[in-house]
Amino acid sequence: MKTTSAAHISEQAKFAARTLRTLTTEQKNTVLKAIAERLSSASDQIIEANSKDLNTAKSQNLSAAMIDRLRLNEERIKSMADSLREVADLNDPVGVQRSLGLQQSGIEVLKKRIPIGVILMIYESRPNVTVEAASLAFKSGNAIILKGGKEAANSNRVLADIIQATLVEFGIDKHAVQSISTSDRSVVSTLLKRDEDIDLVIPRGGTTLIDFVNETSRIPVIQHYQGVCHLYVDKSADLAMALDLLINGKTQRVGVCNALEGLVVHQDIADDFLNVAVQHLRHYGVEIFGCDRTSELSAVDKVLKLNDFGQEYLAKKIAIRVVSSLDEAIDHIDQFGSQHTEVICTEDQQRADQFIQSVDAAVTMHNSSSRFSDGGELGLGAEIGIATTKLHAYGPMGLESLTTEKFVVRGSGQVRA
């Protein structure tokens, strides 16, 4: 029974995807703007549904941070509506063509961008993800199945209802956006096996969720695992700049994946830099963990062994390592980074290029704060996630990442000899 209903959900999504891929950009933008209107005028209804979720969360003693993430108010609803209009303003990747030229046989070959098809998104807590993910999927011509956290079940339901009502108003199959609120894991497990209907799974949440999805899914998964990001301060760095990048990367917001978790310092400037850096970090309440050499140069709260590096603290903590060369810095990042975002601070262009060439991370930066590693700041407009695996997408994923390219061949009766 449950299996049937999960299958039904994915079949309906696949059917809806067939019409979605033929919509024009103008049609899609009109619908997105209409959803924005409807959200704004339904804010009382949204806040009421959200308050049920908030009450349950309070009665279950969820943390204040969790409750804050869950909360919707006038301002946050306005911000959701604004984000819908921003997605309408983004370039539509669907239909973009590039030529592979006329072949010797006489056939003309193109690659044409098309929607992926059906996306299953599994996420936790924040209900605004419901609207963001639905709008990005819709703009890129994909059907989406949204499985939000049970904490936000009432909020997600009313948001999905508003989206579906707008779709119906414009004569579009409402199964283009489906929200599942069941807490029954077997429904999710069944969906994760439906590779005949679903083309892509995006889990956004803790490592337990991602591991579960990875283990269970027969469908390709794009995972956003951890952000263990480093700043490497080279011997040729502008130390004042390095300090800015360090403080911004570590303290501007600590609970996010593009915050710094590690600092790697070249030995030649370690003495000069670490004293000042550690003093500033302490001023911001950051606990200092460091290798032996770090501890010889400045007071640390804990000396780290090699095995202790590579933690995603998501807190006011930093792991510092002193290295004797650029190569050793690259080795450290290779071993302990999570292929998310890695920064070099140096005035030496050649050493910057070597770092960028050698470090295997989705975003490699020269003289910039790791906090810029998100879709909006990198010029993608909006992001549906950040991929730390390399296939299909690597790093922040915008609209283009929700599409793929097919081959189009035009001939005049050519056959193969």
Within positions 173 to 212, which residues make up the interface with a copy of itself, using CB under 8 A? 199-200
Q: Which stretch binds a copy of itself (CB under 8 A): 27-35, 129-137, 306-314, 384-392?
A: 384-392
Min dist CB 413 to a copy of itself, Å, is 4
Min dist CB 183 to a copy of itself, Å, is 26
Rounded Cα distance between 12 and 4, Å, is 12
Min dist CB 362 to a copy of itself, Å, is 6
19, 44, 341 from 390: Cα distances, Å: 30, 43, 13
Site for a copy of itself in 38-77 (CB under 8 A): none
Q: Which of 7, 62, 66, 109 binds a copy of itself (CB under 8 A)?
A: 109
Min dist CB 118 to a copy of itself, Å, is 10
**How do strand 108-115 and strand 287-290 relate by DSSP bridges?**
unpaired
Q: Which of 116, 176, 320, 399 binds a copy of itself (CB under 8 A)?
A: 116
Residue (of 359, 403, 409, 360) closest to 380 by Cα position: 403
Rounded Cα distance between 402 and 21, Å, is 12
Q: Which of 166, 338, 346, 369 binds a copy of itself (CB under 8 A)?
A: 369
Residue 312, interface with a copy of itself (CB under 8 A)? no
Rounded Cα distance between 336 and 325, Å, is 17
Residue (of 350, 323, 237) closest to 333 by Cα position: 323
Q: Which of 2, 18, 58, 302 binds a copy of itself (CB under 8 A)?
A: 18
Site for a copy of itself in 329-358 (CB under 8 A): 334, 352, 356-358
Residue 266 Cα to chain centre, angstroms = 31
Site for a copy of itself in 78-107 (CB under 8 A): 100-101, 103, 105, 107
Q: 136 with 402: CB under 8 angstroms? A: yes
Residue 259, interface with a copy of itself (CB under 8 A)? no
Q: Six-digit token pair at 252?
A: 């501007």
- Residue 93: CB atoms within 10 A of its CB come to 20
Min dist CB 140 to a copy of itself, Å, is 13
